Structure 1
Amino acid sequence: MSEPIAVVGAGLIGRAWSMVFARAGRSVRLYDAQPEALAGATQAIRQSLQDLQRAGLVDDPEAILARIEIEPDLALAVGEAAYVQECGPENLEVKQEIYTRLEAETAPDTILASSTSGIAASRFTGHLTHPQRCLVAHPVNPPYLVPVVEVVPAPNTSPDAVERTLALMSEVGQVPVLVKRELPGFVLNRLQGALLNEALRLFRDGYVSAEDLDKTVKHGLGLRWSFMGPFETIDLNAPAGVTDYARRYGPLYADVDAQRDGASPWQAETLAALEAERRTALPLEGLAERQAWRDRQLMALGAYSKLQDERDA
């Protein structure tokens, strides 16, 4: 796949995807229906690339930026592309309209992939003449720092489109995960949601403060999960592996699961209390600075991982 990559949507995710593809040497055409979004895209991308350079993750920001072409015309942006990464609003009707236009402007075998966080591709592509080349390629924000991508085919997505997307994601340095069939929230957000639901219950019921809950993940679970997943974790946490772990601790987890009430933990009173604790720890005006700190931490982790990979090679 050597044709240009088209990115539709020049917001935060679209700009990040453009960097992913261009960093890997691919030519990118970045489109947005809003001229003001395109107007600031180049400088925003340049700033992010310079941050990556300072972290030792890219060598030549301007060379990468030169591979990203700002294109205000949708037909010109996607017409020659073999792959389109759609990054439009998380709105079903808007996505249906976008995909109607994308089908009209692309070749029948051009892959149309959505960055949607939770809308199944079948819901916004079923009306198309060629829905078999459509799927979800859901990133984690920002994808140039967090590489996992959930590839989620619709029931009528062709195996060829799936394989080509998996291959492209690997080629550009991402870590593709195949979600074998559609389900709400895909895999990553369902896992994240399970932890958030339990965290909110523990906070709501007065077992732990917001700060101490975050400490538990940051200095406990998160340390292990930064380099191995939950299944490998339990496999390594018992002398004889997974089955041994299940024998030792399975009853405890089953009992804990049975104790959970069916009430949603996302209630206004709980969220107001959580908001109050978080704003005490971090005033609203400090959010942007802390978000930048988060990205620098991810860059440092990425630089460390890159060094370890080079040592292991």
Structure 2
Amino acid sequence: MSGHIAVIGAGLVGAGWAIVFARSGHEVRVFDASETIRERLPSHFRASLEAMATYDLITDVDMVLRRITVCCSVSDAVVGADYVQESVVERVDLKREVCAEIDCYLGPLSLVGSSTSGLPASSFTEGCANRERFVVAHPVNPPHLVPVVEIVPAPWTNDTTVQKTRDLMQSVGQAPVVVTREIPGFILNRLQGALLDEAWWLFDQGYATAEDIDKTVKYGLGLRWAFMGPFETIDLNAPTGIDDYARRLGPMYVELAEGRPPAGPWSDDAVRRATEERRAALPADQIDARRAWRDNRLMALVASQRKLVP
């Protein structure tokens, strides 16, 4: 890419995107409608990059910082950009408004990816003159530490947009996943939602505490899932592979599914009890500190994964 990359919306996700692109060598221009956020971005970037440097995830904090410019308008950020990462709040009306403004300043080959967690691009890009160059590029928060990004086209997104967005994400160290067509929640949140629904049901019915359900994932499923997914997991869990696993254990999973009640709203009582349990384990005034702990653990994990043979 010969031009810069623009990031519109600089909350936790947008700021993480700016780091993703800048650490890989791109010039990045960032805009957020909040002056307060814009003023605190330089210190936020430095703190995040210095933390990454302690885990050898970057080598030169100042060099990365010099590639990031905080802008005072959408036009200042977008004009001349090869790629725009839209990361505003998850509201259809706001995304529609912001994408329309971005659309006004796009160059003839510029692409736009949206950080939406579940809104399809078709719900907010239909009115854009360049709608074929808009696509969902959904990261996991924080994107500079968790590399997966889901690329989801609207019905009118052209194939070139999908391919070029995938290539860009690959080139900046992310792990792009192409979803062939729109589906609510995409892939990651549908998988997460299925696990959460079962976790809430088990908790609500009193089969285990929230802590023990978390332990089951933390010390069981999560250890394998840190470096391989569900299909590879079961492929390795039967003597001759995935078809063997399906023959041996498929009927058990069918029986479990048939006995599982339909998913419904998480009960108010379960949410109340889970909240009480979590606040007893982690008081509300310690959540920010625990979030920082999480990010440090993620950095250590990413650093460790880089040493593993794929």
Structure 1 length as normaliser, TM-score? 0.97
* Letter of the 2:192 counterpart: Q
User: In the alignment, what sits opposite 1:250?
Assistant: 250
User: In the alignment, what sits opposite 1:44?
Assistant: 44
The C-alpha deviation readout for 1:230-282, integer Å capped at 9, x for no partner, is: 00011111112111111111111001111111251512111001101111111
Cα 1:213–1:279 change in 2 (3 A) is same
User: In the alignment, what sits opposite 2:207?
Assistant: 207
User: In the alignment, what sits opposite 1:81?
Assistant: 81
- CA RMSD after TM alignment: 1.0
| Residue 296 of structure 1: how far off its partner (Å) | 0.6
The C-alpha deviation readout for 1:79-132, integer Å capped at 9, x for no partner, is: 100100000010001111111111111124311110000000011001122210
SS at match of 2:224: helix
SS at match of 2:124: helix
| Structure 1 runs (4+) greater than 4 angstroms displaced | none
The C-alpha deviation readout for 1:205-234, integer Å capped at 9, x for no partner, is: 010111110110000000011011000011
Q: Aligned partners of 2:133, 2:37: CA distance in 1, in Å?
A: 28
| Residue 2 of structure 1: how far off its partner (Å) | 2.4
Asked if structure 2 preserves the Cα contact closer than 8 Å seen for 1:204 and 1:265, the reply is: no
| Residue 295 of structure 1: how far off its partner (Å) | 0.6
Asked if structure 2 preserves the Cα contact closer than 8 Å seen for 1:45 and 1:65, the reply is: yes
The C-alpha deviation readout for 1:127-155, integer Å capped at 9, x for no partner, is: 12221000000000111110000000111
Structure 2 length as normaliser, TM-score? 0.98
Q: Aligned partners of 2:73, 2:218: CA distance in 1, in Å?
A: 45
Gaps of 5+ in 2: none
1:277 matches 2:280? no
User: In the alignment, what sits opposite 1:190?
Assistant: 190
Q: Aligned partners of 2:26, 2:76: CA distance in 1, in Å?
A: 17
User: In the alignment, what sits opposite 2:153?
Assistant: 153
Gaps of 5+ in 1: none
The C-alpha deviation readout for 1:191-218, integer Å capped at 9, x for no partner, is: 0000000000000001011111011000
Q: Percent identity?
A: 50
1:181 matches 2:181? yes
* Letter of the 2:165 counterpart: T
Asked if structure 2 preserves the Cα contact closer than 8 Å seen for 1:79 and 1:106, the reply is: yes
User: In the alignment, what sits opposite 2:299?
Assistant: 299
User: In the alignment, what sits opposite 1:165?
Assistant: 165
SS at match of 1:262: coil
SS at match of 1:7: strand
Q: Aligned partners of 1:263, 1:303: CA distance in 2, in Å?
A: 38
Alignment length, in residue pairs?
Answer: 310
